[in-house]
């Protein structure tokens, strides 16, 4: 088993799913990530499995502490997502979720860029079915856009890999850097999947259109795989600090005015990725530990928030803040679990977000990057504003919408309970997470300075929200469509292409018409000169032809003699 890439357990395990009866299949689905987790735990750091092909050495399995962190959490996320979807009989979603999760796990244990590319593309192809499973026209169009962008990321990655191999003669996946064109292309490929600024809108476009359970699966793997790839290939890259800081700040403004609560969570996902990217850019051991820890924590609390909103959508049929409110009366357990997720993402002490985000902030402060540190503090206050307060408030406590629905199904509640327990457990006992991080941890999160600073930040953010609500300054939840940079490729680009296509069509018709006229004139001229009645077609007597030949010969002789 130690020579087996643990991701293959889920990928190959998806094959017989269609043949297993549903009553047994649900248990079978949950067993696969448990086995995968056990295999990851059994892997010894330093284990490498290679395969020679086409003159290249593929590392099908490469184990170290960094890959094991992602291996653990990806299997945990797969188990929780499949438990959350226990009631779902959609075979397409079950198969695609297994292959998607398995491809992400396999990718983090890939030791070379070619193997990484294969699993990179497999995550794209398998995950789009979680969007199409909604079976609406909107989901179909969104899925096409998502697939184009994700596969495009893979094409760019392959281009960079080919250039890297031409430059270095190696395909080993270690530090790459941005000094070469190959390094820049690979960074761009990773950046698309990580939702860098201006490359981010596929995330907000697609995740809210997926199914209730599909969004939970999507939230765990694609972007965090990209974070892992960045940590592996670009640790200490200066530009990532500024990219990450931008990622933490700009989604706040969109999230505050967004009405669709799953889109709010998609923007906050973008915000949290920014903290991880900053940690990678700083590149110190503490910063990289903080990135790994925050990725671990983030997958849990973001899944919990998407689960709670998924349960609301499942019972009410909507996730619009303007159409919800008062649901705490009929969905009390979901409300509590949502608040645990909100406290975790807001980095309240004793919750998972606090013990991971504080590592990144401390690492940034340790490098004396005070502007970046201040930006991260602003972003921390912002995420509490839109995810810590807005999500639970408008879904469960704002104006009573009059909806009285059933509590979420038991499997959803159990999945949320386990996830909430892990968020609290890690927050209370962070050493359990610190022990599996890639570098030795010399960090104590629960110091007076850390706790007081964070509580001050959260209390002032809560005060600002309260004042804005009392004075009716806070943007109300309205039925609206917010414009982001996706407008350029969803609206402007199609209009420009349609207009350009119209011009090209009209020009083509005019050219064709004029060409037909010219061709007609040429045919008429040929007809006049070479037709049956033309001078060139008249019959000449043999004597006349003989006279012409003799004349030509005489001229030739005269010329030669002279």
CA distance 438 to 460: 35
pLDDT of residue 152: 94
Low-confidence winner among 125-129, 308-312, 526-530 (lowest mean pLDDT) = 526-530
With H, G, I as helix, E, B as strand and everything else as coil, classify residue 49.
strand
Per-residue pLDDT band at 477 (split at 50, 70, 90): low
pLDDT of residue 540: 65
- Average pLDDT value for residue range 217-246: 95
Q: Per residue in 136-194, pLDDT tens?
A: 999 999 999 999 999 999 999 999 999 999 999 899 999 999 999 999 999 999 999 99
Burial of 93 (0-12, 13-18, 19+ CB in 10 A): buried
Low-confidence winner among 272-276, 302-306, 391-395, 399-403 (lowest mean pLDDT) = 399-403
CA distance 329 to 59: 54
Backbone φ/ψ region at 57: left (φ over 0), alpha (ψ -120 to 50), beta:
beta
Tokens of 264: 């709010």
CA distance 96 to 124: 10
pLDDT of residue 431: 95
DSSP 409-440: PHHHHHHHHHHHHHHHHHHH-THHHHTTSSS-
pLDDT of residue 539: 66
- Average pLDDT value for residue range 271-291: 95
pLDDT of residue 133: 93
Q: Per residue in 479-491, pLDDT tens?
A: 667 767 777 777 7
Per-residue pLDDT band at 281 (split at 50, 70, 90): very high
Q: Report domain extents, the chain.
A: 1-233, 235-472, 487-513
**Mean pLDDT, the chain, whole residue set:** 90
pLDDT of residue 399: 77
Q: Percentages helix, strand, coil for the chain, rounded to the nearest 5?
A: 75, 5, 25
Contact 456, 380 (CB under 8 A): no
CA distance 194 to 188: 10
- Average pLDDT value for residue range 381-409: 85
Of all residues in the chain, what percent carry a pLDDT higher than 70? 96
CA distance 415 to 303: 10
- Average pLDDT value for residue range 212-217: 94
Per-residue pLDDT band at 450 (split at 50, 70, 90): confident
- pLDDT exceeds 60 at position 1: no
Per-residue pLDDT band at 537 (split at 50, 70, 90): low
Backbone φ/ψ region at 54: left (φ over 0), alpha (ψ -120 to 50), beta:
left
Q: Which residue has the tokens 């088993």?
A: 1
CA distance 234 to 417: 36
Q: Which helix (H) or strand (E) holds 61?
A: strand 56-62
CB crowding 329-351: b at 16 or more within 10 Å, else e: ebbebbbbbbbbbbbbbbbbbeb
CA distance 399 to 327: 10
CA distance 279 to 344: 19
DSSP state of 475: P
- pLDDT exceeds 90 at position 472: no
Tokens of 306: 């998407």
DSSP 192-225: HHTT-TTS-HHHHHHGGGS-HHHHHHHHHHHHHH
> Angle at CA 101, nearest 5°, toward 379 and 265?
25
- pLDDT exceeds 70 at position 16: yes
- Average pLDDT value for residue range 311-318: 92
DSSP state of 538: S
Q: Per residue in 21-58, pLDDT tens?
A: 888 998 999 999 999 999 999 999 999 998 888 878 89
Q: Per residue in 285-300, pLDDT tens?
A: 999 999 999 999 999 9
């Amino acid at each position: 088993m130690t020579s087996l890439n643990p991701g293959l357990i889920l990928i190959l395990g998806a094959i017989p799913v269609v043949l297993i009866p549903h009553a047994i299949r649900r248990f079978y689905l949950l067993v696969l990530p448990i086995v995968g987790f056990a295999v990851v735990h059994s892997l010894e750091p330093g284990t490498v499995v290679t395969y020679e092909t086409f003159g290249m050495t593929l590392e099908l399995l490469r184990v170290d502490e960094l890959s094991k962190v992602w291996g653990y959490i990806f299997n945990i996320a797969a188990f929780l997502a499949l438990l959350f979807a226990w009631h779902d009989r959609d075979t397409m979603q079950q198969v695609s979720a297994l292959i998607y999760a398995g491809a992400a796990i396999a990718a983090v244990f890939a030791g070379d860029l070619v193997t990484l590319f294969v699993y990179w593309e497999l995550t794209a192809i398998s995950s789009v079915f979680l969007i199409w499973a909604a079976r609406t026209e909107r989901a179909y169009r969104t899925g096409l856009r998502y697939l184009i962008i994700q596969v495009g990321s893979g094409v760019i990655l392959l281009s960079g890999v080919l250039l890297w191999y031409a430059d270095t003669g190696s395909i080993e996946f270690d530090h790459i850097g941005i000094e070469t064109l190959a390094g820049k292309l690979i960074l761009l490929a990773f950046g698309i999947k990580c939702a860098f600024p201006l490359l981010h809108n596929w995330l907000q476009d697609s995740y809210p259109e997926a199914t209730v359970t599909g969004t939970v699966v999507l939230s765990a793997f694609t972007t965090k795989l990209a974070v892992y790839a960045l940590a592996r290939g670009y640790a200490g890259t200066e530009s990532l600090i500024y990219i990450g800081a931008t990622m933490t700040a700009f989604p706040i403004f969109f999230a505050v005015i967004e009405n669709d609560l799953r889109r709010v969570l998609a923007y906050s996902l973008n915000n949290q990725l920014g903290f991880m990217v900053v940690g990678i850019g700083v590149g110190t051991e503490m910063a990289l530990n903080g990135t790994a820890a925050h990725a671990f924590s983030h997958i849990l609390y973001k899944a919990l928030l998407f689960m709670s909103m998924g349960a609301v959508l499942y019972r009410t049929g909507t996730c619009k803040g303007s159409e919800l409110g008062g649901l705490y009366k009929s969905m009390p357990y979901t409300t509590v679990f949502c608040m645990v997720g909100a406290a975790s993402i807001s980095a309240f002490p004793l919750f998972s977000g606090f013990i991971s985000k504080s590592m990144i902030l401390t690492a940034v402060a340790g490098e004396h990057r005070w502007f970046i540190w201040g930006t991260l503090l602003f972003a921390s206050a912002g995420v509490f504003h839109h995810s810590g307060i807005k999500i639970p408030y408008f879904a469960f406590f704002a104006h009573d919408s009059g909806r009285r629905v059933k509590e979420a199904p038991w499997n959803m509640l159990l999945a949320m309970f386990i996830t909430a327990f892990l968020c609290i457990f890690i927050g209370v006992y962070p050493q359990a997470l610190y022990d599996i991080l890639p570098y030795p941890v010399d960090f104590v999160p629960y110091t007076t300075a850390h706790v007081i600073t964070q509580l001050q930040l959260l209390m002032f953010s809560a005060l600002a929200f309260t004042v804005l609500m009392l004075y009716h300054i806070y943007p109300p939840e309205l039925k609206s469509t917010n414009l982001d940079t996706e407008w350029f490729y969803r609206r402007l680009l199609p209009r420009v292409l349609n207009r350009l296509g119209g011009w090209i069509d009209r020009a083509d018709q005019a050219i064709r018409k004029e060409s037909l006229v010219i061709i007609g004139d040429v045919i008429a001229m040929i007809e006049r000169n070479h037709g049956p009645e033309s001078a060139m077609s008249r019959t000449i007597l043999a004597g006349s032809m003989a006279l012409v030949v003799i004349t030509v010969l005489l001229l030739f002789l005269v010329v030669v003699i002279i």
